[in-house]
Structure 1
Amino acid sequence: MLDIKRLRYASLIVSTGLLLSACAGETDDDPDPDTDEEVIAPELDDDETDDTDDESDSENDDNDDEVSVSQDLTDWIPMAEDTLLDYEGDGIEYASFTRYPQFVHEDTYQFVESTSGTDVVFIYEYTDQEVREIFVRPETYFRDDFVDTELSSEQENYEILLQLPIEMGQSWESPTGSISEITNIDFEIDTEFGTFEAIEVTRTVDETDTLYYYAEGLGLVERVSNPGDEEMEIMSTLISRSENQPEELPVTIFSLDDQGEGLIASDVTIELFTNEPIRTALVEVLRGQAPDTESAALINEGVDINYMFLGDEDIAYADFSVELTEEMHAGSGIEGLIVQGIINTIGGYYNVEEVYLTLDGEPYSSGHFELTEGETWPVDHSAVTWE
């Protein structure tokens, strides 16, 4: 229909042109043709305009079908501080766990994942193109900033958790040997905590698939291993997110007894928010300045802990200010018990048998005790009364 009408329209234009040419060929006495005469093109039928509109609508529909997702990696794996995440599990005992962010730097994120059986510390590293899992340490019941202490990871290679661009079919292989692919970018996931639009990342390790669902601004909302296998499926799902929460760390303090003849062990709970080192809270406990710790005082108010961490060789390192000995004013017996209380407290916190105690970077030295470079002080519970 459209071609026929266009042919008629062309014929009309050609005929009009021939007519004007014929008029121009007449004698000069003939009046000039009316050049202002308007030539009106024939109107298109409704079905012709509908065809054009349909093509435009179809293109718009195609654009509407495209899902646009954030390309900011921290939207999908946030570096949230002071936030406790609680996951409910199904399939095995340890599928339930909590996560708490311990230390957050510009490009690293350290958190502890706690199950009923163990605590595992992870560190994620953020680059321009991907998020990597660069540190894993199981059975870690203390808190250090491992980026600063450089304690070795139990994981030999790093795992790539997410890689740009975030789009369907994006895939990558990690140095650990796993293969990952973004298998959905618009997955609606319904949990007890809420309903979210999530991206789905499928990771394959030794022919075992694990699905990771990340919601924008929230992070991991569900993890499913062996999906579809009724006997082997393991699922962990986010059920709560609590902001402005501290991490609670149990610590056993060894303080002098009333007669100054031995040590008494007492348990305290230290609360730490993200990026708070243990030493700042512990020194308050050892001074007797923390709530309900007045009787546990071992050191004077002017004493500080400059640094404290666990080394790879299972030796704890603790550097106190020189005021520890300068303001002690005690005989050798009391001094020995005070130092032993400090050693037992720090050694117990790190679950080690030796502590390298220094004063402003130098080996511990007083009028009664002289330690040499590298010499450690052993944990000793022989004089302890347990409450």
Structure 2
Amino acid sequence: MQVKKKVIIGSVIVLAFLLITWAVIMRKPIKDIIIEEEITDLPQKPRVSLDTYMPIIKDTMWIYEDSTTPYVPISVWVDFIKDNIIQIRFKQGDKITAKVFIEEEEAIYEVATVEDATIKQDYTTLRQYNNIIMKLPIEVGSSWIMSDHSIRTITQTDEVYETELGEQTGIEMTTRHEDYTITETFVEKIGLYSIKYETPQKTRTIQFSEMISNKPQEEVVELYLMNKATGKMETVFEKVAVMTNEEPKHFLTDLLKKAPNEDYLIDISNGAIINKLFLDEEEACLYVEMSEDFIDPQYSKTEEEKIITSLVNTLGHYYNAEYVVMTVEGEAYPLKSPLNDINGRIKVKDSFY
């Protein structure tokens, strides 16, 4: 390809004339004036990359419409971005699914799926399978075999789609299974734009509707707080905005440092934090490490025990755990109480009524 680089526009005749005249007066030779030159074989930057059609944008929500349930949209958001690993969650009605993707070797791989991912947990180290979702080069006919033996092919490129961001270039990916076909389109700046599931009997479509920027995911946390006057545990529901890469220990710390009003004991003192939260799913046991002085020293031993009960049940119910083990800076919590069993575990109660 030839590209013409104009150094001095030839139409500027007056300026050229003045330069020549001045050179004659000064009796100095004038250099040749290059009007234009041709440069051949310029290196061309690749026009697309993987993130062209699968952009990962933090604190953003994508909304899709499902033809089978038109009144129940699908919401998609990014939980974690860790170098080349991302975790995304999908919500439709009460069902929430988490998926983990890895970008490496000029391809994007889907490597894990977690059903019933109703709370935010970090699954970025989980590996269950290895499916290539997209890879370079982006060319019609590029094809590969998925882990379930289906064949995925790039069937269209450079198609133009009308979106809320204007006209955007997109590509089409077709995955052929034995009994059905899935056709997906991805467009610039948005990512996944549509999905069509086709069987001999029916067709289902999922279509992009809206992308909302600077939109954190909203979660409702069930707090178990101790009423000062009655000495009883009460349930309070609080909404919390969860940002991309924000771990539960961060927003749970913030929630537990305050109370709806002065009727309740505050679970965590102002300068303290939750250091670590780890759920052993096989044992249904949540391990909680607190920082030092997480309980206000002005509280009595009786109030301290009530706060531990409050913390255990708030965190235990959030993670759907049966037991909680409390430590402080890695050391066993010193409270001597019948709350703990011989393994240092505290039972999470199902009800306080």
Q: TM-score range by the shorter chain?
A: 0.7 to 0.9
Contact map agreement 2:267 2:295 (CA 8 A) in 1: no
Correspondence for 1:365: 334
Give the TM-score taking structure 1 as reference length: 0.72
Correspondence for 1:23: none
* Consecutive unaligned residues in structure 1, runs of 5 or more: 1-67
For residue 286 of structure 2, the aligned residue among 313, 316, 325 is: 316
The structural deviation recorded for 1:101 is 0.8
Correspondence for 2:307: 338
Correspondence for 1:50: none
Amino acid in the other structure paired with 2:129 = N
The structural deviation recorded for 1:380 is 1.2
Contact map agreement 2:229 2:263 (CA 8 A) in 1: no
Amino acid in the other structure paired with 2:117 = T
Amino acid in the other structure paired with 1:268 = E
The structural deviation recorded for 1:374 is 5.4
The structural deviation recorded for 1:316 is 2.2
Q: 1:136 to 1:366 in 2, by over 3 A?
A: same
Correspondence for 1:216: 188
Q: Using the alignment, how far apart are the partners of 2:70 and 2:262 within structure 1?
A: 40
User: What is the percent sequence identity of the aligned residues?
Assistant: 22
Amino acid in the other structure paired with 2:320 = N
Q: Using the alignment, how far apart are the partners of 1:94 and 1:309 within structure 2?
A: 37
The secondary structure found in structure 1 opposite 2:249 is: helix
Amino acid in the other structure paired with 2:277 = M
The structural deviation recorded for 1:220 is 0.3
Amino acid in the other structure paired with 1:279 = K
Q: Using the alignment, how far apart are the partners of 1:232 and 1:328 within structure 2?
A: 66
The structural deviation recorded for 1:377 is 1.5
CA deviation map 1:136-175 (0-9, x unaligned): 101111112222xx4x56xx31221001111010001123
The range that moved more, 217-226 or 191-200, is: 191-200
Amino acid in the other structure paired with 1:128 = E
Q: 1:127 to 1:293 in 2, by over 3 A?
A: farther
CA deviation map 1:260-308 (0-9, x unaligned): 522110000111111111212211211117xx46655222212210012
Amino acid in the other structure paired with 2:170 = A
Correspondence for 2:207: 237
Q: 1:373 to 1:179 in 2, by over 3 A?
A: farther
Correspondence for 2:175: 203
Correspondence for 2:37: none
Q: Using the alignment, how far apart are the partners of 2:242 and 2:148 within structure 1?
A: 33
Give the TM-score taking structure 2 as reference length: 0.79
Q: Using the alignment, how far apart are the partners of 1:225 and 1:93 within structure 2?
A: 16
State how many pairs are aligned: 307
1:128-167 superposed matches below 5 A? 128-147=105-124, 150=125, 152=126, 156-167=128-139
Q: Using the alignment, how far apart are the partners of 2:167 and 2:261 within structure 1?
A: 45
Q: Using the alignment, how far apart are the partners of 1:373 and 1:359 within structure 2?
A: 18
Whose radius of gyration is greater, 1 or 2? Answer: 1
Cα RMSD for the two superposed structures:
2.7
Correspondence for 1:265: 235
CA deviation map 1:42-71 (0-9, x unaligned): xxxxxxxxxxxxxxxxxxxxxxxxxx9844
Q: Using the alignment, how far apart are the partners of 1:209 and 1:268 within structure 2?
A: 43
The range that moved more, 188-197 or 175-184, is: 188-197
Q: Using the alignment, how far apart are the partners of 1:213 and 1:194 within structure 2?
A: 16
The structural deviation recorded for 1:195 is 4.4
* Consecutive unaligned residues in structure 2, runs of 5 or more: 1-44
Q: 1:91 to 1:368 in 2, by over 3 A?
A: closer
The secondary structure found in structure 2 opposite 1:224 is: strand
Q: 1:95 to 1:76 in 2, by over 3 A?
A: farther
CA deviation map 1:334-367 (0-9, x unaligned): 3332111111111111122222222112232225
Amino acid in the other structure paired with 1:82 = D
